[in-house]
Amino acid sequence: MNEKRLSKTEWKRLEKDLCRSRRSVWSQITAKDRKKALLYSDKYKDFISTAKTERESVNIIASKAQERGFVPFEQAGPGSSRVLWTFRGKAAALAVTGKAPVSDGIRIIASHIDAPRLDLKQNPLYEDLEMAFLKTHYYGGIKKFHWVARPLAIHGLALKEDGSAIPIEFGEDPHDPVLTINDLLPHLAHKVQGKKKISEAIPAEKLNVLIGGFPLLGPEDLKDGVKLRILRILNERYGLVEEDLISAELEIVPAGASRDVGLDGAFVGGYGQDDRSCAYASLYSILELKEPQVTSVALFLDKEEIGSDGNTGAKSSFFEVVLYDLMRHGGLQIEADSLVRMLIVSKAISADVTAGIDPDYKEVHDERNDALIGHGVCLTKYTGSGGKYSANDAHAEYVNWLRRVWNDAKVVWQAGELGKVDEGGGGTVAKYLAQRGLDIVDAGPPLLNMHSPFEVAHKTDLFMTYRAFDAFYKADE
Ligand code: MN
Ligand code: MN
């Protein structure tokens, strides 16, 4: 074949016209947006430093929303355009009513506000060799070695028999002592740990939190003085007795605030960015949202990390309660099929993080199809594992709509999936919402260190996630 050789200019033009470029967010946004990205990250760091449990997240979301004119649904009049729901203190929703009737469909961004951690068992406190410890049961997918030999804090709630709820937070104030879980010294670890698989080296029953070491002074023949002193401190400080720990939800989380990472401060490092990075981005966009065309909802769900089961997760009736309330609020006559009919014309984003390619572990990634750090919010058409099992697989038409919305709004985005096909995978809330017939796709920032006590996100990816959610709510079509 007699093919004409292209000039360099022709080559470059063709490349520009036909290929999708992969450039970093930082290199293609304006100086003004670079500044905004840094300011956004500062506010975000404050959020993840204080919202370390689902209950704390709900409290912060509800108070920020009320400051910005959102009214709890029970108090909302027919004219209220900004409405707030909280559910059992662990899930929340915000809605801004649109110009179009809700029967034409709504926009939903669903994120989750639970994160992997260590929960206290129901009978946590014991003494051994004159030290007091708390027994734990881990929540969500953790690598147990991440949780030993590091400062830890306790956050949560205990209920006294009279019904009074006692919030507990300890280990965050720089003047507070912290808690920790001890690990075995390397000198003695050769057999007990060194020859085992990394997943078996630290059994869950050894994730015991050190909480005390001064025995109460009393008659010499009485035992468990360290435990008794800890109970006395808990009683003096919070009014608790040991049985109150049974009706408690106490979570062991990494102590301390989130931090900038890197000499240039390009990253945010901190606990719970899966998925509070998305929760914050959707909160930030819906708080700013005014008179959208389409009624817009931000859902903040619990229990995603353990399969979305339970009455505060994506499978629970909370979602339906919010939707029925919205339909009534929008003046829609409720008939047997009105919820389904509204949902099948609705659009949603399952707002969740994905894995960024770690240069040290490229072998688990498909570099052409996984998310690059610093390259913007990542759209994940399908989740699941092992041949799209348990996946939500978004429709091409919907992906096409969203890419048009994002391109029009100059959102820097990328498309990626979570790791090589046979390597593993993971799910999100997308498939549970998809069962109700709406269009839904996953999107969120790529993380490094996901599910560790110190997850790392690029500031521009966090910012572009906010921009992407904002554009989704504001799109008129
Ligand atoms: Mn997640
Ligand atoms: Mn997760």
What integer is the mean pLDDT of 254-278?
A: 98
Which one of the ligands is nearest to 451 CA? Answer: 2
List the one residue out of 103, 86, 1, 463 whose CA is nearest residue 298: 86
Q: Give dist(CA 287, CA 290) in Å, integer.
A: 8
Query: How close is the Cα of 337 to the center of ligand 2, in Å?
Result: 34
**CA-based torsion, 64, 69, 70, 71: positive or negative:** positive
**Beta-carbon contacts of residue 160 (< 8 Å; ≥ 6 apart):** 166, 239, 240, 244
> Among 22-31, 35-44, 118-127, 327-336, where is mean pLDDT lowest?
327-336
pTM exceeds cut of 0.75: yes
Percent of the chain with pLDDT over 70: 100
Which one of the ligands is nearest to 352 CA? Answer: 1
**pLDDT above 90: residue 390:** no
Query: How close is the Cα of 111 to the center of ligand 2, in Å?
Result: 11
At 395, the amino acid letter reads H
List the one residue out of 126, 62, 125, 123 whose CA is nearest residue 89: 62
Query: How close is the Cα of 222 to the center of ligand 2, in Å?
Result: 46
Joined together, the tokens standing for residue 411 give 């959102």
**pLDDT above 80: residue 256:** yes
Query: How close is the Cα of 356 to the center of ligand 1, in Å?
Result: 13
Give the pLDDT score at 383. 87
Q: Give dist(CA 241, CA 233) in Å, integer.
A: 10
Query: How close is the Cα of 353 to the center of ligand 1, in Å?
Result: 6
Query: How close is the Cα of 81 to the center of ligand 2, in Å?
Result: 33
Contact 92, 84 (CB under 8 A): yes
Give the pLDDT score at 316. 94
Query: How close is the Cα of 112 to the center of ligand 2, in Å?
Result: 9
Query: How close is the Cα of 115 to the center of ligand 2, in Å?
Result: 7
- How does residue 474 score in pLDDT terms, banded at 50, 70 and 90? very high
Q: Give the tens place of pLDDT for each residue, 312-349.
A: 999 999 999 999 999 998 888 888 899 999 999 999 99
Give the pLDDT score at 461. 98
Give the pLDDT score at 457. 98
Which one of the ligands is nearest to 449 CA? Answer: 2
**pLDDT above 90: residue 186:** yes
Residues, CB-to-ion distance under 5 Å, ligand 1: 274-275, 352
Give the pLDDT score at 426. 84
Which one of the ligands is nearest to 275 CA? Answer: 1
Domain 20-115+271-474 has CATH 3.40.630.10: yes
Residues, CB-to-ion distance under 5 Å, ligand 2: 274
> Among 52-66, 100-114, 230-244, 416-430, where is mean pLDDT lowest?
416-430
Q: Give the tens place of pLDDT for each residue, 76-130.
A: 988 899 999 999 999 999 999 999 999 999 999 999 999 999 999 999 999 999 9
Query: How close is the Cα of 273 to the center of ligand 1, in Å?
Result: 9
What integer is the mean pLDDT of 222-240?
A: 96
Query: How close is the Cα of 337 to the center of ligand 1, in Å?
Result: 31
Helix (H, G, I), strand (E, B) or coil at 399: helix
Q: If residue 120 lies in a helix (H) or strand (E), which one and from where to where? A: strand 117-128
Q: Give dist(CA 434, CA 42) in Å, integer.
A: 34
Contact 472, 349 (CB under 8 A): yes
Give the start-to-end residue ranges of the domains of the chain: 20-115+271-474, 117-254
Which one of the ligands is nearest to 450 CA? Answer: 2
Helix (H, G, I), strand (E, B) or coil at 55: helix
Using a 10 angstrom Cβ sphere, with 0-12 exposed, 13-18 middle and 19 or more buried, the burial of residue 15 is exposed
Which one of the ligands is nearest to 429 CA? Answer: 1
Which one of the ligands is nearest to 140 CA? Answer: 2
Query: How close is the Cα of 305 to the center of ligand 1, in Å?
Result: 7
Q: Give dist(CA 358, CA 371) in Å, integer.
A: 10
Domains 20-115+271-474 and 117-254 share a fold: no
Query: How close is the Cα of 280 to the center of ligand 2, in Å?
Result: 16
Q: Give dist(CA 153, CA 285) in Å, integer.
A: 30
What integer is the mean pLDDT of 133-156?
A: 98
What integer is the mean pLDDT of 32-42?
A: 98
Contact 347, 398 (CB under 8 A): yes
**pLDDT above 80: residue 477:** no
Q: If residue 109 lies in a helix (H) or strand (E), which one and from where to where? A: strand 107-112
Give the pLDDT score at 22. 86
Query: How close is the Cα of 151 to the center of ligand 2, in Å?
Result: 22
Query: How close is the Cα of 421 to the center of ligand 1, in Å?
Result: 19
Q: How far is CA 415 from CA 16, 133, 367, 406, 408, in A?
A: 19, 46, 12, 12, 17
Q: What is the dihedral of CA 202, 457, 47, 325, to 10 degrees?
A: -100
**pLDDT above 90: residue 63:** yes
Query: How close is the Cα of 6 to the center of ligand 2, in Å?
Result: 48
Q: Give the tens place of pLDDT for each residue, 407-462.
A: 999 999 999 998 888 888 888 999 999 999 999 999 999 999 999 999 999 999 99
Widest distance between CA atoms in the chain: 102
- How does residue 259 score in pLDDT terms, banded at 50, 70 and 90? very high
What integer is the mean pLDDT of 374-387?
A: 93
Give the pLDDT score at 285. 98
What integer is the mean pLDDT of 130-158?
A: 97
Domain 117-254 has CATH 2.30.250.10: yes
Whether the link from the prior residue into 360 is cis, omega within 30° of 0, is: no
